[in-house]
Chain A
Amino acid sequence: MKETDIKFLEDSFKKYYFEHSDLIRVPERSSEREFGYQKFNSGMTRHISIKDDKELHLLFMQNIPSDVYCSNAYYSFPNLPMNEKDWKEADLIFDIDAKDLNLSCRENHTVSICNECNQVSKNSERCLKCSSTKIEKKSLPCKNCIDSSKTEVSKLSEVLIDDLAVSKENIHVYFSGNEGFHVYVYDSQFQQIGSRERSELTDYISFRGAIPETFGMKKFKPNRSSFPDFDENGWKGRFSKQVFGTKSKRSKIISELISNGYSSFQKTLDDVSQNIGVKIDPNVTMDIHRIFRLPGSINSKSGLTKIFCKDLTKFDPYNDASFLSDDSIEVFANCPIEFKLKNKKFGLYTNEKVTIPIFAAVYMICKKLATIA
């Protein structure tokens, strides 16, 4: 990234950190957590301990970081090297990201930026100008991306509450600042379980590894009465609703399932998994030493803020997570996709100078689709 762009982003971020320090708060039990941050064009600094809001604000104002992170884990010595930290427990955490949802809208709003010649083109595997395959993809998520991610968050909450006895008040949903949501679970029975246990828990939540027997289908002499019912709890009930559709069709569909046989039933389970399984990123949940973007901080992939969603259904990231200045700035833009921020439309721009509000300029520069003119 060019020096002038970095300077501009740093100035814009600093203004936000200064004016919105009320949004940047240390989490509960802050002194037991590990913090880390990145500056523009530089590596990660981590293993930092921060005890209160004052220290945290100082870190922001002194370093003007591009990104700030905090562990979901609690340690005795958060600022020591990893194997000396003495891990105690970790909040359960889930990452739901639009890019993992196989949405058909994606190709309409993904751009390919060539790492060799910086050519920007609409989604392609090869640079249209120099044919290089060293392509970086950037997506400008649309409403469908956000709505689909919200649906996954609701599915996740249902499994957590109904099956795993997590109480609703202990589930906190945050917009990640870019393309999805981070779901935090506090004070659950899972605080102290390790990485392998968490991995197994993600398989449960995403409906992975189910065998036909669990859902009533036996290899030999299958029995109609062992198939699940509509009003059953947990996955059996969800399976019934998905596969049978209505109560009246249940009997007919069971006959079909039985006559199609065991291996066909396994196939049905795998298909069903795509629909009813919650699409979470398993790597995130099973990592018990990870540091996560700090709520209230800006995501340098977009310039939007990672923020708590009080009412998920009404939440609109392009309004509710954009806190940067409305002042105007002139940029050189190359953006082949339209986008909307704070109820204003921007784009398309083809290698042209435009004067736009800072919040939109930051968004495009973070996506590598504009530079300061």
Chain B
Amino acid sequence: MKPPAGVGLGWRRQLAHYLDEAEGVDFVEVLAEHLEPRGPLPEPLKRLKERGVPVVLHGVSLGLGSAEPPERGRLDMLARLAERLGAVCVSEHLAFVRAGGVESGHLLPLPRTGEMLEVLAENVRRAEAALPVPLALENVASLFEWPGEGMTEARWLAGVLERTGVGVLLDVANLYANTLNHGTDAREVLEAVPRERLAYVHVAGGVKRGGLYHDTHAHGVPEGPLVLLEELVARVGPVPALLEWDDHFPPPEVLGAELEAMRAAQARGVARWKGGGA
């Protein structure tokens, strides 16, 4: 299957009808946790597959940043789904989701230390060995950080790339959230990822609440993530970007306008890209 390009949309049951009709969606991302590993694939998803729309399988519950190695059963499930979907890659997160028997139901940040990097790299090796397609890992947003003298996010991401063979799913909305909530240097993070390691980009909306930016996937996309997308493209050239919307789904015209805004940011970036020959 051809690799993702252009602009994509996270596949959700509530968006299945939109995706059936939409012309301007170049690839989709399917949440592994929303599918029955043994049951039939949802019909609208089968139709997208038949239309040749590239599919990425996205997991949220593997917890590759856990102290424990990834569970065999979870990896097998991802592998099976990736094969059934004909997924071009599997993406997961630089996060942990459970510890000491407590399930957080969320992607929790990792301490950005050398020790964490060692454990993560070993977990990633196990995951890569179990998956039939390349693995890409996503930077997460968090309202808090681990204490102590950890690496910067850019250094951490560079460390992940040095120590493993994974690709990067760069979430510019998460990066934007971290610039607002932690003063993360976004430019430095963008510069840490070479084009050949960049799988695709996530864009999502959020909201400011109580002095903090919440990456909700349920509000419109602010200017910030789009500016980061443009900056990234201006630096490395065309990069596929996918919109995540999980809740309070907007009418089709709003969704369409969000996708157009992403396409416009990509175009502005390409126009500035020095490798473009322009």
Pair from one complex: no
